Amino acid sequence: MSHRATPDTTHRPPVGDLGRRLVQRRTERGLTRKETADRAGVAPSYLRYLEEHHGAAPSTGVLLRLAGVLGTTLAHLTGGDVDLPPGPEQADRHAGFVELSTQECRTLLSTHGVGRLAIPVEDGPVIVPVNYSVVDGLIVFRTDPGSVTSRAVGCRVAFEVDRIDDAFSTGWSVLVRGRATAVTEPDAVRRLTELAYSTPWAGGQRELWVSVRPDATTGRRIAVDA
């Protein structure tokens, strides 16, 4: 059964939680809007409506079909798992670890995202999330000079990123180790400001650039039938 939406010839960015999650998930899966709609049994114009209109309220049946096509869950599409830690689903009994090559790790690190920075401090190590970018092979982030993350400067640190796919009980993680340094040279600061994508989600002034030069990069993937 097809669904009709008001014709809209103007492209709009995704709005609302559902629209953003639909676009993000089908992009991750490498699916076009038409491919996704055809597989879910809805009209492409209706899927566009869901992605581009705040307050769109599809039926549970439509959401379940879209979740199946996109390899995710109803809870994820509707934001029901937003406050839950990743990985609550059961592990696949045929899963195992596959070691990743250095190049695969670099590809997964990509250009930006959110990672976890482990810092050695006087009263024991701390781990904090940071919005990072990759510029010229360096992991870079902005922070406040008086913050916990600023204490990484001059230390050997660990930086970790991972992704978990609850629907398929698979995922990957990449671990980088290296020394953190403050970036203070004006040309280098200007370059990072121009090229770095991620900015701190918490907002506010973050005047200190910190870079981590990897000297060891390892990773593993959880794969079914590994």
- pLDDT value of position 143: 93
**Residue bearing the bigger pLDDT, 4 or 97:** 97
Summarised one tens digit per residue, pLDDT across range 56-68 is 888 888 998 998 8
Question: Which pLDDT tens digit goes with each residue over 134-155?
Answer: 999 999 999 999 889 999 999 9
Q: What is the mean pLDDT of residues 42-58?
A: 89
Give me the residue spans of the domains in the chain: 16-78, 95-224
Query: CA dihedral in degrees (49, 55, 56, 60; nearest 10)?
Result: 150
pLDDT of residue 1: 44
Burial category of 133 from C-beta neighbours within 10 Å (exposed 0-12, middle 13-18, buried 19 and up): buried
Question: Is pLDDT at 156 greater than 70 in this prediction?
Answer: yes
pLDDT top residue among 200 and 61: 61
CATH superfamily of domain region 16-78:
lambda repressor-like DNA-binding domains (1.10.260.40)
Vertex 26: Cα angle to 201 and 82 (nearest 5): 45
Q: Which architecture, in CATH terms, is 95-224?
A: Roll (2.30)
How high is the pLDDT of residue 208? Answer: 92
3 band by pLDDT with thresholds 50, 70 and 90: very low
Condensed to tens digits (0 to 9), the pLDDT of residues 66-112 reads 988 998 888 778 776 555 556 555 666 677 889 999 999 999 998 77
What is the spatial distance between Cα 223 and Cα 226, in angstroms, rounded to a whole number?
5
User: Do 95-224 and 16-78 fall under one CATH topology?
Assistant: no
**CA-CA distance, 176 to 181, in Å (whole number)?**
15
pTM of the complete model beyond 0.85: no
